[in-house]
Amino acid sequence: MAESAAAAQGRIFISYRREDSAYPAGWLFDRLADSYGKGQIFKDVDNIELGEDFVERITAAVGSCDVLLALIGPQWLTIADERGRRRLDSGDDFVRLEIEAALTRKVLVIPILVDGASMPDPDELPPSLAKLVRRQALELSPNRFETDTGRLLKVLDKTLAEAARYPRGSAVPVADQPPITAPPITAPPPAPAPPPAPAPRKVGGGAKRATRGPAGTRPAGGPAWWQRPVVWGVLVIVAGLVAIIAVVAGSGGSRGPPNTSPSVTKPHPSQFVKLRLVGDAVTQGDRVRLTSAAIDQNGAAWSTDRKNVQQPFTATFHFQITDPRIGGGADGIAFVIQNHSGSSLGIRGGGIGYDGIPNSLAVEFDTSQTPVKTPPMVQVGDPDSHHIGVHTRGERSNRADEKFRIGRLYNSPNLKDGRPHTARIKYMSSQLDIYLDDQDTPVLTVPVNLATKLRLANGTAWIGLTAATGSYTEQHEVWSMTWQPA
pLDDT tens digits for range 325-375: 777 888 999 999 999 988 898 888 888 999 989 999 999 999 887 766 566
pLDDT at 82: 84
pLDDT at 42: 83
Q: How confident is the model at residue 190 (pLDDT cuts 50, 70, 90)?
A: very low
Helix axes 54-63, 94-104, angle to 10 degrees: 30
Q: How confident is the model at residue 403 (pLDDT cuts 50, 70, 90)?
A: confident
Q: CA 388 to CA 365: how far, in whole Å?
A: 5
Q: Among 464, 427, 425, 451, which Cα is nearest to 341's?
A: 464
pLDDT at 210: 39
**pLDDT tens-digit readout, 127-183:** 889 888 888 888 888 777 788 888 888 888 887 876 665 554 443 333 333 444 444
Instruction: Give the CA diameter of the chain.
Output: 123
What is the rounded average pLDDT of the residues 278-295? 90
pLDDT at 472: 87
Do the Cβ atoms of 476 and 323 come closer than 8 Å?
no
**pLDDT tens-digit readout, 212-246:** 444 444 444 455 555 566 556 666 676 666 656 65
* % of the chain residues with pLDDT over 90: 32
- CATH of range 264-485; options 1.10.10.970, 1.10.287.1260, 3.40.50.2300, 2.60.120.200: 2.60.120.200
Q: CA angle at residue 117 from 71 to 464, to 5 degrees?
A: 95
Q: Among 131, 84, 85, 78, which Cα is nearest to 109's?
A: 131
Helix axes 18-36, 145-165, angle to 10 degrees: 60
Do the Cβ atoms of 447 and 430 come closer than 8 Å?
yes
Q: How confident is the model at residue 484 (pLDDT cuts 50, 70, 90)?
A: very high
Q: How confident is the model at residue 257 (pLDDT cuts 50, 70, 90)?
A: very low
Task: Write a three-state SS string for the chain.
Answer: CCCCHHHHCCCEEEECCHHHHHHHHHHHHHHHHHHHCHHHEECHHHHCCCCCCHHHHHHHHHHCCCEEEEEECCCCCCCECCCCCEHHHCCCCHHHHHHHHHHHCCCEEEEEEECCCCCCCHHHCCHHHHHHHHCCCEEECHHHHHHHHHHHHHHHHHHHHHHHHCCCCCCCCCCCCCCEECCCCCCCCCCCCCCCCCCCCCCCCCCCCCCCCCCCCCCCCCCCHHHCHHHHHHHHHHHHHHHHHHHHHHHHHCCCCCCCCCCCCCCCHHHECEEEEEECCEEECCEEEEECCCCCCEEEEEECCCEECCCCEEEEEEEEEECCCCCCCCCEEEEEEECCCCCCCCCCHHHCCCCCCECEEEEEEECCCCCCCECCECCCCCCCCCEEEEEECCCCECCCCHHHEEEEECCCCCCCCCCEEEEEEEECCCEEEEEECECCCCCEEEECCHHHHCCCECCEEEEEEEEECCCCCCEEEEEEEEEEEC
C-alpha distances out from residue 464 to 167, 266, 399, 480, Å: 33, 20, 17, 11
Residue 259 has pLDDT above 70, yes or no: no
CB atoms < 10 A from the CB of 310, how many?
17
Q: CA 188 to CA 223: how far, in whole Å?
A: 37
CB atoms < 10 A from the CB of 44, how many?
18
**Which residue type, as a one-letter code, is found at position 300?**
A
pLDDT at 37: 87
Q: Report the top-level CATH class of 5-165.
A: alpha beta
Q: CA angle at residue 118 from 113 to 123, to 5 degrees?
A: 120
pTM above 0.85, yes or no: no
Do the Cβ atoms of 15 and 88 come closer than 8 Å?
no
Intrachain domains 5-165 and 264-485 with the same fold: no
What is the rounded average pLDDT of the residues 84-101? 89
Do the Cβ atoms of 394 and 454 come closer than 8 Å?
yes
Q: Give yes or no for a cis peptide into 331 (omega within 30° of 0).
A: yes
Q: Is the dihedral of CA 288, 348, 102, 36 positive or negative?
A: negative
**pLDDT tens-digit readout, 24-51:** 888 888 889 888 888 888 876 445 566 7
Q: Give yes or no for a cis peptide into 223 (omega within 30° of 0).
A: no
What average pLDDT does the structure give for the chain? 77
Enumerate the domain spans of the chain.
Answer: 5-165, 264-485
Q: How confident is the model at residue 299 (pLDDT cuts 50, 70, 90)?
A: very high
